[in-house]
Structure 1
């Protein structure tokens, strides 16, 4: 279920805006529809009351026969009008409170014309009405006439109010008044306008969200760039107060990180400079011990000290070197590194993919591959290399013939100064910096290094790098 939900804040906000728009539109249409129905009910009652007043005023002074003649002259199918001795509304009890109140109003208003009783009833629409009065054949009628004909048809097919009024002589005046038809809130004419307004709101919401989240995307890009290149230029401190504060904090963080790394580089350079002089003196003094039995042991220890110092300096300075990125033929680089080790061989030597161009620092990338191959040869005796290309990525797989690494320690070996071989012999254990440097270099160019135990035995190291466009 979670995979179908939005994964970014702008999409969530956009969905909330659209949902709010739909809810408000539906609520507005419902309120307008309800108010129209209520207003039409009041208008219908008013029209019935007004027509009753006009008819009673017209017929109040006439004789019963004259009333029938007048009613016959005013009769039509939509506005039925009759005068009889019996009421059309037989029930004296109103159907609802509104009609009961209307009956009282009509009796009170028309009592001066001799009306003694009033009855009103609601009648449903009839479908057998055949009102062809005013029908016009032909297609040359105007828009106004067409609208009037359509409205007349709607009145003829709408619900009706039937009223019965009793004169003082006992004769009943019966007539009907059609209710005002309620048109649809949404029609084919208004739907495009609603759609246009909704579309404009969505477009403006998308534009506003992109403008609102643009600084955050810029800061995200800047942070990722800092992770790859600590010397990248600082981001612009422009925009709203919150954005400026965040940008300022990121720039301050980058500055402090650069100071920290530069201090580490200076420390390593000072260490190398300070160690060079006493190491030189020790070598000169060692030459004086030509026949001493301790000479070989001292020479071995001195070489270890120089190797340790060199490894620490490499680890401290590889991130801050001024080497520029270049287009590198990865296959040629791997072949050149493999040529330096006798225990390295290529699997499927004849099917190497071509055109594997990467963008990276040449010396750093060569150090990365060298560290991985050397690690495989040191701990696994032999290394078997395989190159594979998939879309925009190249993978260098290095399989050795060693004992592998316990599953729980596959990630921990990338830590600085982590050695699974616990002896102090640098020929078998090293300093534990090779994999750390290699992974940092790979991540610096957008790649990654993964370790796994090969099913047939040994450790499988995979270096994935992005290819140049």
Structure 2
């Protein structure tokens, strides 16, 4: 079966196409602006001819007796300008024609000695230029253009049109480039979600280069997800297979008559079981099958303290009787248990504290042990790290207890901090943000 691949421009091709399109639009609008400027130039020429015609007409009319001036004014009229002589002055000059009036006076300085008035007379979509120039005896020769002109100020119109074209082209080009790069933004968001454990295929769209990247990303996350699933299943199988002989070994150790040998073997079995449990808890936690629910965190803390007391350990709970919060019960119980066990292993007394602030729920675990060197307070949170200088070497497990706590707290979007107490011992603080 033959597959037909739809031709598509690459990322560079699309950017070039967008720039070409923007250039064409700019060229087209610039052509319109040029034509507009040409029209302004033509009007400048008309203004120059008006100045010249007005000087000649004023001179001819002024040399005639008053009775012949009206006829002379009509005689000097042309197809472009209508001339008339009147004793009355025309209306005052219009401010919108101040630039054109200044140009006329600059072109024909002789008109500066006589009052010159110019104004616009609206007519349809345009306006006629009307006005008059005073004669030496105080009478006026009036004029009016035969063709209507645009009433916009020339320089202002050119600036506004140029700015409008530039803004339109920039907005259009930016929108097209943003649309072209949209699949890259979606890819970045998908990568962030995948980093948080949320795997979902991304639609393969966009330029050819981007589609190839998205295809590779989808394949990569599918392979990684499959590796995680296979590893989790393998860990579950290995954990079951290892714990079965450990259980048999524990039963056989019970039959050993020598108490010291029996206790040593049982301690070794307990240590191996703790190692397997911590390893499975740490390496099998990516799926996060547990969902957060509204539960009583105070009851959980009090229960951990009571269980420890029942086993002859000095654990005290200080806090409210009830404090409801949305969290993962099993994960938080495992985290708090690890902190309590850690404190009891390196100290003799542990205090569980629970308080609530305006924006967080704070759980503290304090012990009276030797503490941790300040320079190692952060490294101890990393997996497989065991401190031999500050803690005893007979620590159970693989150094994953605090790493499991860090992961459990991160799932709740909280923070874990360790600090040495001034009076001695370690203080572990878990801050869980409250749901607004």
Could you say what the CA RMSD is over the residues aligned between the two structures, in angstroms? 5.6
- Show the counterpart of 2:47: 44
- Evaluate the alpha carbon distance shift between residue 176 and residue 338 of structure 1 in structure 2; reply closer, same or farther with a 3 A threshold: farther
- Evaluate the alpha carbon distance shift between residue 241 and residue 196 of structure 1 in structure 2; reply closer, same or farther with a 3 A threshold: same
- Evaluate the alpha carbon distance shift between residue 208 and residue 35 of structure 1 in structure 2; reply closer, same or farther with a 3 A threshold: same
Structure 1: distance between partners of 2:222 and 2:124: 80
Q: Is contact 2:304–2:337 with CA below 8 Å preserved after alignment?
A: yes
Alignment of 1:58-457 (within 5 A): 66=64, 121-122=108-109, 144=123, 151-152=129-130, 183-184=152-153, 215-229=183-197, 232-276=199-243, 278-280=245-247, 282-283=249-250, 286-287=253-254, 289-291=256-258, 294-320=261-287, 322-342=289-309, 343-347=314-318, 349-350=319-320, 354-358=323-327, 360=328, 362-379=329-346, 381-391=349-359, 393-421=360-388, 428=395, 430-454=397-421
> For 1:234-265, what per-residue CA distance to the aligned partner results, in whole angstroms no more than 9, with x for missing partners?
33334554443343333223222223323433
- Unmatched runs of 5 consecutive residues or more in structure 1: 1-19, 82-98, 100-118, 135-141, 161-174
Displacement of 1:406: 3.3
- Evaluate the alpha carbon distance shift between residue 220 and residue 463 of structure 1 in structure 2; reply closer, same or farther with a 3 A threshold: farther
Q: Is contact 1:227–1:444 with CA below 8 Å preserved after alignment?
A: no
TM-score for both structures, normalised by structure 1: 0.57
Tell me the SS of whatever aligns to 1:356: strand
Displacement of 1:308: 1.9
Displacement of 1:413: 1.5
Displacement of 1:125: 7.3
Structure 1: distance between partners of 2:234 and 2:390: 28
Equivalent pairs, count: 369
- Show the counterpart of 2:88: none
Structure 1: distance between partners of 2:323 and 2:251: 51
Displacement of 1:129: 5.9
Tell me the SS of whatever aligns to 2:308: coil
Structure 2: distance between partners of 1:145 and 1:285: 112
Structure 1: distance between partners of 2:265 and 2:390: 19
TM-score for both structures, normalised by structure 2: 0.61
Structure 2: distance between partners of 1:335 and 1:217: 47
- Evaluate the alpha carbon distance shift between residue 256 and residue 376 of structure 1 in structure 2; reply closer, same or farther with a 3 A threshold: farther
Tell me the SS of whatever aligns to 1:235: coil
Which segment is superposed worse, 123-132 or 213-222? Answer: 123-132
